[in-house]
């Protein structure tokens, strides 16, 4: 067999017709790839991405933590792992047990995948209003999915209350057989983000982070990262980017749990103060409309190639606001929580967007002609 004369060469792109032959070029040395022992070890350690358009717009370095690169596709893999490790340590989750949780979807996906890798089965309760993509992802992950009608938290038919009651019924029949994750009020959620997510951000920015901003569902990410960054650098600004329809921004700014408006975003916003959100060190808070956040998602995809979900648009809008509040020259970190493909029927559906009064870019109309 003849050996290729091009073997071992790196390919360099050229303009058509100028040079069709490969040329060896210098490439940087990359660190050796790691071998991970299991799925849990693959959670976290996500890169920070420089968001070019937002950075140019504000004169700040705006960086997005690429949490959609977690094995289950979202930042909630971190939450799931933190909750499971804490439950195993305390003996609440026993070998062969059943994980029960109420979730808008992503935490359930993380629990199901990490749970399966550690020998647990999962039963997930979620509102039937959540995206079909997330519901299907849960089922593919091996979870037993039970959809319930959406209801306010004060209603006993709220998905979290139903999940808790179901877990209690399993333990009544077979003591110690099931564990309720309780992501909203189990502060192992917040503690895990404080111990891992925040440390990664600090190390990746070499301590030169001036502000952190994200939305809150359980509040674990915002509170945990905020606490850890404040402990390392008291002057860092922590901000809440809250979708309209949530009461948290009004709670921070006015001390009132009053929700105004609505949003197509999923998994973020709240009508109550969870145990994880309680006493979060928040300096600033904004209410972000879909008309502000969704176009940022479309621009990020079209101009920078990042396809991320609705919470990321809310987070990016908050990062731009925080950058403007601090002024040029600062480093702002936010979270790109999951992939936009989990919300394709909403975020990238021209008819749906028009129905909600959200601008539709021309390229999206061309991609999905009516």
Sheet holding 237-243, edge to edge: 48-50, 61-66, 331-336, 211-214, 237-243, 284-288
**DSSP state, 193?**
I
Any residues with CB less than 8 A from the CB of 207 and at least 6 apart, and which? 232, 233
∠ CA 150-155-156, rounded to 5° = 100
Report residue 303: phi and psi, to 5°: -100, -20
Sheet holding 121-127, edge to edge: 144-148, 121-127, 98-102, 178-180
**Positive or negative CA dihedral for 71, 217, 246, 223?**
negative
Residues recognised as catalytic = 76
Q: How far apart are CA 286 and CA 215, in angstroms?
A: 10
């Amino acid at each position: 067999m003849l050996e290729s004369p091009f073997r071992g060469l790196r390919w360099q792109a050229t303009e058509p017709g100028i040079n069709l032959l490969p040329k060896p070029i210098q490439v940087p040395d990359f660190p050796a790839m790691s071998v991970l022992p299991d799925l849990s070890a693959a959670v976290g350690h996500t890169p920070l991405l420089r968001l070019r358009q937002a950075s140019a717009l504000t004169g700040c370095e705006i960086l997005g933590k690429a949490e959609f690169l977690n094995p289950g596709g979202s930042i909630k893999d971190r939450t799931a792992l933190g909750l499971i490790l804490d439950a195993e340590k305390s003996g609440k989750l026993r070998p062969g047990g059943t994980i029960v949780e109420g979730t808008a979807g992503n935490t359930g996906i993380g629990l199901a995948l990490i749970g399966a890798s550690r020998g647990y089965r999962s039963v997930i309760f979620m509102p039937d209003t959540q995206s079909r993509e997330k519901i299907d992802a849960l089922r593919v992950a091996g979870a037993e999915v039970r959809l319930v009608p959406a209801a306010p938290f004060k209603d006993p038919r709220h998905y979290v209350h139903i999940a808790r009651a179901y877990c209690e019924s399993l333990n009544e029949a077979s003591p110690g057989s099931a564990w309720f994750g309780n992501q909203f009020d189990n502060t192992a959620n917040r503690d895990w983000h404080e111990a891992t997510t925040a440390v990664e951000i600090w190390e990746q920015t070499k301590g030169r982070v001036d502000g952190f901003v994200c939305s809150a569902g359980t509040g674990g990410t915002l509170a945990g990262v905020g606490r850890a960054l404040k402990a390392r650098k008291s002057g860092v600004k922590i901000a809440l980017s809250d979708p309209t329809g949530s009461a948290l921004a009004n709670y921070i700014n006015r001390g009132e749990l009053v929700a105004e408006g609505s949003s197509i975003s999923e998994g973020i916003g709240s009508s109550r103060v969870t145990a994880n959100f309680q006493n979060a060190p928040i300096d600033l808070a904004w209410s972000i409309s879909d008309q502000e956040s969704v176009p940022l998602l479309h621009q990020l995809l079209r101009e920078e190639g990042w396809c991320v979900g609705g919470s990321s648009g809310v987070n990016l809008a908050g990062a731009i606001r925080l950058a403007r509040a601090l002024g040029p020259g600062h480093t702002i970190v936010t979270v790109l929580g999951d992939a936009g493909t989990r919300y394709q029927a909403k975020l990238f559906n021209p008819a749906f967007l028009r129905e909600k009064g959200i601008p539709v870019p021309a390229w999206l109309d061309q991609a999905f002609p009516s």
